[in-house]
Amino acid sequence: MQPEDRNRLRHMIDAARTARGFLAGRQRTDLNTDEMLRFAVVRAVEIIGEAASRVSPSGRAAVPGVPWPAIVSMRNRMVHAYFDIDHDVVWRTVQVELVPLMSSLQAALDMPSDPTRAD
């Protein structure tokens, strides 16, 4: 995997951990009442999508279980339709979807790089 792709995977993991940390000990209703929390969580999810959009096709192929198009589409929706974000979807994404995503990305990073292979 190309070094740039590895960096993007790390960015995705970091942003996912950050989003999960923001919601630790919180309730779903907190997204409705805490504007700073809402902005922070949405931004972290946007970063995941932006980093995903910059992973090369070969980098994506190295992590086949990741729903790359869905991640990028969610980022695009949040950025371009910021006025109509479904916070139930954001909550579910952070609380349910990010844990397996982080595991898949970390597993890809933990695989030794093959120096003889040109990605």
State yes or no: is 28 an active-site residue: no
Q: What is the pLDDT of residue 111?
A: 85
d(CA 106, CA 50) in angstroms, rounded, equals: 18
| Neighbour-count burial for 79-106, b at 16+ CB within 10 Å, e otherwise | eeeeeebeeeebbebbeebbeebbebbe
Average pLDDT over residues 9-18: 98
Q: Which listed residue (80, 87, 92, 117) is catalytic? A: 80
Q: What is the pLDDT of residue 9?
A: 98
Q: What is the pLDDT of residue 63?
A: 94
Instruction: Read off the pLDDT of residues 56-65 as tens digits, 9 standing for 90 and up.
Output: 999 999 999 9
State yes or no: is 10 an active-site residue: no
d(CA 41, CA 61) in angstroms, rounded, equals: 28
Q: Which listed residue (60, 75, 77, 117) is catalytic? A: 75
